[in-house]
Structure 1
């Protein structure tokens, strides 16, 4: 019974009273509580009662009631437990163990505990063999269906479906309006106003078919979940393998840097050895020369000493004449011409000092260089940022709205997150409107704000505000998205600005036609603060500002893409090869890793420095007149096509998908 105890403790216990369920009921959020506990809790929630809903004590989700005008007691009374909870209660709840050993009801009334052998489906009582004979002799019960008491499955199948409210009434009807099985008494009292009540016999095949279909759906979902689990596990394995490979690459990079440092160390050590060796060789040669001179001095000393101590004047004068005077100034005292002599001199003071090997370094500079050392960068790439990924159409947004006078033409798109809701914002050129699209269960919503003229490009100011260029009215309008679009302000401009982008909280970048290849930086009143020369683009149609404030400018009439800094310095000009010729350049956006996405009847991907990477989307992806493009925070790619916005997600590779 350990399993039954574990089930009771973990799954059959009410979180309110912490006891085993008593008359359990289940809310729409699938949380189950005791009926009395839920009733007490609901009565303490006036806001929920006013909203005619039952609040969940666990997750706070509201469950709508079928009859809001009835008392709260009936709201809770109409709830039922889930089939799973009810089945667990029947098999493992209180009394389930005792049910395994059933006692004869007749003997029990006589104070006996005789084991029952049979169960009557009509009386819903257990009988021993002797009492069963008496039961079968009574005329009113002799035709009752009796089954073996030990066969729980058959007992359950034969058990009469009795009303919980009217205990003696069998359930024979089903109220389709309330989705409840009821007895005739319930029908006449509580369901008089219901329109669709049918017999249980008629509903049973329908319910069985519905549950069978539901089971099939659950089986499919189980298979899908199992496949997803297998796929996720393979992803975990791939992530771990990829992480290990990256770690190995980092260690190899570190080893290469260390080897480079060791080579530099060896070069310095070798240079110390060479320089010190040269100095040592010079000094050792001088020592050898000094030793030879010292030997000559020693011989001269001994020769002179012998002459002085020999008391022989002839020898003494002979030595004197041979060596000459040894006075420090080498002068003849008698001014006579010097006689031939040998003089040993060694002027140590006039010799150059030997060189000294030194090691100089700037420790602060060295530490700074080490701190600035970059072994590389580790980044998580997903979506289109992963250049090995494959686009898959996730869903399509139809931006046609009631009241449109013409077929929508969507020039630009951006995505905001307003109060946790993803809101798609589009500029509808043909219908002079800014539209917002969002999904709030159960229905999608399209709202629009009519503008004075044809809108072109959208600049995202924040997660709840955008600016829109309206060139033919010489306006830039700012709009608050709630998620419905609400006009905030109208900025009057001196030029007709088509292209528009957000530069800073106080500055916009705008482009117009034929203005000496320049775009203007504006303040939020429309005043021109500075003009930037793009070099070649005369009629900017789209401007995008990168994360490092570089400007990328496109023009539909040229076949190249230009990027400049906000100071006007050239960053790159992308001019494709003949086989990749660009025509009609439109929207631009950048990925989280800095890659550039450009619309040109297809979507191409460039590096941050303007090098071709790949064609992300082509005509085979059913792109019809694509123009606007953006990425949301989850790396979903939005592309306007005719009056639709196509939303793409990206998978790592085709062979990793579960089919």
Structure 2
């Protein structure tokens, strides 16, 4: 008869590390080992590869490689050895009266005896007498029995004691992904021997958890995109309302100069326009409601997968995996296209012949056009520029000129003519149109477009202790306002300048250290590097300035440019090894660029860096007047040499336009240079005669206005104007 002392002596111990097995596995000779220990033994075994097996470290009995391992290398054999469940808890710490187990054999005989021992192979509890009988049977003589105190409540729970559906007396140890079944070793070696996707429960659980984690990230990303679309929807509705007001004002301004005889026609036109806008606004609000419902559905799917991911039961996780997969697929199949959030644009195009013959034509047309976001942004910028112009505009002349332009109408809403337009003469005869004599044409004058200094902005603001020094500049279009952002090195601050309600305004934000360079990260967000600080500031422009975050980095950085909304390219400074690092918004270095794969020198000490439209990096050095262009992987595209930059002592600013034209500030010679054809051709773009004085940072906005930071604390803005060509 077995005694508790004998059972304690027979408690399984790994015969390699002589400790309680961790993630225990069993060999056919019934010796048990840690999975990691037996894996190292198999890898170091000389006969493993030759004889497709290995010797037991305890008894040296030859063990063939697991059948389920197939043709996999010996490093993976340990994953397919049978698992033995052992408790990690100490004796007598987890047992209590409410957790007391009864003897399984006595329970079948109708007795109620407390169990003291646990059979790890049968997963049943026995009293001392039944345990002795259990050990005397030849079939169960080799079974390992341990005290109940050594078994954790998790091992005793019925949830993790799942048995095979084909062999009721066998516990499941494997999972067949092809058949989506939990199976015992017998099923794995016989019924599912041809299935390729058979693994241990632990291995399958790890794969499932990893897959769920990936899907949760995708759902979160999708939810974030929908949230952004929802915010964009609110902005679009406001834009639609502004567009409505603007269109109505144009119509009213036109009709106020017409005779009272067309008032009925005007009312009819306004009614149709109101209906069109109301219909479009209703459609956008319905799309917004769909977005909210989709977000709630995605959040529910995310919560369900998180609950399944955090469950302690591996069998429960695998049992509910298919159901969760269906919910996940259903959530991602629903898609709301961003185009559904873009409203139509309506412009009023009057029939100017009404000014001469009021009764023979309809009032006009309202043009409905659903444009892309880029066209809408350009239209808003053009309108802002026109509104800020100092020249007065005559409404009627503007309407006439707009009517003569080439129409790009995609859809037109026709309005019915007023009954008054069919008015006849006093004798019943129709009113005949009066012939119009065209005005004499003026002689043709040839004109050319040139850049002229349009405006000068001072970067000195109230509270500055020193004369400002702006060496880096960026221009953003924020909430309908053109906003200029500069980094003031001398006053440890970031500044923005804009026009609001016809008045020049500015905003100033103090920095932790001297700001070096500023770059655009998103539509309303910029990033700023700082001297002698391993930080990058993320600032919101609205058009006032407010700090959003500080990115902590492992190096000191100087020049910066944004590759995407989640990746930055930064150049090192004050470091032993010079490099350009690609980092994320957490400050982690994704990869570094030090030299070209062909061992060509790309840069010596980066001073300015920008991103070209093709995605390449353009870098100018601090002391060497060369410009390098290379890919984000570090492959050289081109590099200027002494032939192109013979009279260039150094660059003080760098900018690349959408058509790959590179502009260089030459502070020493008071000029702006233009580089074309991959650095082969360099010409003069602006000179001191045109108003350039010690240029530093420069920027060109979408209206082709050139902004130049100068050493005299001024920003010179150059604009293209038409002048009479010299004869």
Larger Rg: 1
Alignment TM-score, normalising by the size of structure 2: 0.38
